[in-house]
Amino acid sequence: MDRNTVTGLILIFFIMMAWAFYAMPSEEELQRQREERALQDSLAQIEQELERQELEEERQEREVEDPDDETLPGVGREFRDTDEAPVALGIFRTDAVTDTTHTTVRTPRYEAVFSNLGAGPVRYEMANYRTWDQYPVQIIADTTRSAYVLGFLSSQNYNIETDQILFRQVTPQQTLELNGNESETLEYALELEDGGSIIFSYTFHANKYAIDLDIHIQGLQEHIIGNSVDFGWKPRLNFTERDLTQDGMFAGAHIYAGGVLEDFKVDGPGSNDMMINGTIDWVSTKTKFFAQIIKPEVGTNAAILAGELDGPADEPTTLHHYQSSIQSPIPENGTLSYQMYIGPLDYYELREFHPTAFDMVEISYAWMRWFADPLVRWVIIPYFEFANNWIANYGLLIILFGVLIKLVLAPLTKKSFRSMAAMKELQPQMKEIQEQYKDNPKKQQEETIKLYRKAKVNPLGGCLPMLLQFPILITLWRYFQNSIIIRQEEFLWASDLSAPDYILDLPFAIPFLGDQLAGFVLLMTASMVVQMKVSGGMSGGAAPSGGPNMKVFMYFMPVMLLFIFNNFAAGLSLYYLVYNVLSIGQQYLINRQLDKEKLMKAVEGDDDEKKNRRGKKGRRKKKK
């Protein structure tokens, strides 16, 4: 690494720090922004309350005048109390059902509440996962209507959505309990006056998160324009982590079609959508650790993803609302079949649902997927799955993983560490060259290269260990932040290895760092400083004449990584800490084993050999 590169990196770092400090709003500006935001929120709430009161007063007046008014939204009392504007359904409005009913489905994996208002789930709690504040994870955001919606355009030009309709619950039970390998079915029916019907038939499995759904459409072909329907997920997903900003940054929607995964995110306030035509494998919406997926078992025409943010994407108070739906033609037999997944982003669960479903988990950057995918799927995940049978603590598993990676890379890094040790021993000779040719940088560089050649040392050899672990580090950097394996796993002071392990609160915020310091990151930074000292610094020797102070740069790199790693998963910092400590031990042993006398003889012997050759040439000339 030459002088210009080092100087450039240092300047870039300080320019970024200065810009961030300059751009950072003052405390007065921050307070004014908070007050303005609070005022806007209050006005919005007042406006919504006034609109709700107006609708309620209008509904009450109309209900008193004509209780059987067909323009009222639905026909059941509980349905009308949802305070929404009247919905025109035409022939799909029925008076056969007047009450809202609920059925609870319990399995070892989840507890779901289904409603006949839309014939689908209105609540879905995970049995084995909890939020950061230890409440059961409830995936579906507050709603009284089915999360799954069948939509189409009727022959009367009404936009029909089944979450606006009360179905008749065919299954008599109010509670379905499943255990072992049991399966149960829950059925809802919408029966029209002309004999047509829509029947939702859900099948639950005790040992799966997946739910099977068959939608039977009979006698309605003439009432559905285009003989095509949309089926999708409508409500937003609840966030579950303490860091709402991180949860929001990883929220999004996906389409898998034609062997390609399409990511969809809304970057700022407002709404957007994306449509892909053709055969669709699956669509999904997800948060950081949980997702819902819809996989069609019949032919498809297209898929639509929609997203809306009510504020900046990086604000913790912003609501991230994503929807996903699939458009399908109605088969000749009138039965649409889907398989849905509502659950954690667990590799084995997703792989069983669909071989490509795990692709939505961000385990690395796109240009690194060729390396990261095999490493995560065939090494990291199987390792944790296997080792967890004997070691329950995931902190210890990460430490053991760091040891195993170090052992695998040890034969490759041994030569590099020897090179760094040798360069450290050559520092006195390098200083002599600097003193001797301090006014001639070109000659100084030539003599330094000659010294390396005499000692058979590669000055770039010290970079090899970092290059070897770089792909692994990048993969772990992304994967540990999104891995549900280490979510809420405790180790020492870290309560969640998938989140930062803050231990110190600062009295002020530092740009790019924040107002808290993570424990394992501090230890990792200290270990990097020790490692560089043991190895002899970044270059292994003194800087060339006029070059930058390498001791300063030796501290600059750990500090820069402190800024980068401070807000990342504690598990990543723990792994890197272990790797650094093991590297320190390896370098220390190599330093002790290095044959310093042989090294010096190689340098001095080369000079003696040259002198002897010059002497022999001189004697031959005299004889002539």
> How far is it, in rounded angstroms, from Cα 406 to Cα 17?
34
> How far is it, in rounded angstroms, from Cα 172 to Cα 168?
10
> If we measure between CA atoms, which residue out of 582, 572, 480 comes closest to residue 528?
582
Domain boundaries, the chain: 150-173+180-354, 372-499+564-606
Sequence letter at residue 513: L
* 104 in Cβ contact with 176 (< 8 Å): yes
Q: Taking the CB of residue 578, how many other CB atoms lie within 10 A of it?
A: 21
Which of 553-562's residues contact partners 24+ apart within 8 Å by CB, and which partners? 553/6, 553/10, 554/529, 555/529, 556/9, 556/10, 556/13, 557/528, 557/532, 558/525, 558/526, 558/528, 558/529, 558/532, 559/525, 560/13, 561/524, 561/525, 561/528, 562/513, 562/521, 562/522, 562/525
CB-based contacts of 599: which residues, under 8 Å, 6+ apart? 422, 425, 426, 455
Which residue ranges in the chain fall short of pLDDT 50?
A: 1-6, 8-9, 12, 16, 19-24, 30, 33-34, 37, 40-41, 43-44, 48, 62-64, 66-83, 85, 538-549, 597, 608-611, 613, 616-617
pTM for the model stands at 0.74
> How far is it, in rounded angstroms, from Cα 125 to Cα 140?
8
> How far is it, in rounded angstroms, from Cα 95 to Cα 465?
74
> How far is it, in rounded angstroms, from Cα 13 to Cα 344?
39
At residue 56, the pLDDT reads 54
CB-based contacts of 339: which residues, under 8 Å, 6+ apart? 210, 211, 212, 213, 294, 295, 297, 353
* 286 in Cβ contact with 360 (< 8 Å): yes
> How far is it, in rounded angstroms, from Cα 142 to Cα 164?
16
At residue 157, the pLDDT reads 86
> How far is it, in rounded angstroms, from Cα 524 to Cα 571?
12
At residue 424, the pLDDT reads 64
Sequence letter at residue 127: A
> If we measure between CA atoms, which residue out of 320, 321, 317 comes closest to residue 40?
317
At residue 2, the pLDDT reads 44
> How far is it, in rounded angstroms, from Cα 387 to Cα 393?
10
